[in-house]
A and B are shown apart, each in its own frame.
Chain A
Amino acid sequence: MTHALRTALVLVLPAMLAGCGEYKQVVEYQNGSYVGKQDERPWDSERFMHDPEMWRQVMHERNQRQNEYGRTGD
């Protein structure tokens, strides 16, 4: 009987002590990566002939039009 009790204690005690362990409660955040569909780039068209520099040049000129001082030449 004593032997059986001792064996049971030896088996159960580690499991009980494990409950006293200190575990990290905060989830460590990991940067995710995009899982959706791939997008086309703005210059991926016949108009820009898949040339990013051509697109950027057009956008740059368009950007400059937001400056009204540039329009009037003031």
Chain B
Amino acid sequence: MARMKFICDVDRCIECNACVTACKNEHEVPWGINRRRVITINDGQPGEKSVSIACMHCTDAPCMAVCPVNCFYKTEDGVVLHDKDICIGCGYCSLACPFDAPQFPNSAGKRPGEHATDFFVARGKMDKCTFCAGGPEENGSEAEFDKYGCNRLSEGKLPLCAEMCSTKALLAGDAPVIVAIHEDRIERRGYGDQRWGWEMAYGRPEKI
């Protein structure tokens, strides 16, 4: 069984934001939502590092633990997904997530600048990175695309953010394979053995 994970090689990330753009374009993610984003630490200072962050699909995902309506599930390959038909937009998952991955659209299809009039629908249903695995709808269907975006995994492809990363800083896929690729790199260059967020995301035993 594969165990899908992300690695962001901070020694290669050049903060080009191509992963962010690819994700938004591929899934037609609405304004105000960023399933993936690039964070730069010590910007302009010596030792500046950039890291591309999205849902890490944690082994013991805190979002799954705190969801009051149990809308989260994990696929056989370890991808954490959720059912938008069940989500009530409470935001607990957002508070629990150490990577700030869950995103919330403006209320009821409101666009930026338009103010929500009803407090109780001020936050829409949660949206997050799906590891390009869609959601609980028929694979490749219109309903799946509308709610969750493309299902590249069912097409035999990897997440687009990683596949189009120009420096291959972002690696996605089966954990042993991407770890081997990363370790090979470290051995060749002789530095930079950090796997940002790994201990936080995958340091606890698997829960499916």
Contact = CB atoms under 8 A, between A and B. Distances in A.
Q: Chain B contact residues (Cβ within 8 angstroms of A): what range?
A: 35 or more
Nearest to B134: A39
Given A34-B83, A59-B153, 15 more contacts: A35-B83, A37-B136, A39-B137, A40-B154, A44-B139, A47-B156, A56-B2, A59-B156, A59-B174, A60-B174, A62-B156, A64-B177, A66-B172, A68-B168, A69-B185
B71 interface: yes
Contact of B177 (A38, A39, A41, A60): A60
Contacts of A63: 158, 173-174, 177-178
Given A31-B65, A62-B157, A42 B86 contact: no
B75 A48 contact: no
Contact of A36 (B2, B75, B86, B177): B86
Interface of A: 29, 31-45, 47-48, 55-56, 58-60, 62-64, 66-69
Nearest to B71: A36
B135 interface: yes
B88 interface: no
B70 A59 contact: no
Contacts of A60: 174, 177
B85 A62 contact: no
B173 A66 contact: yes
B81 interface: yes
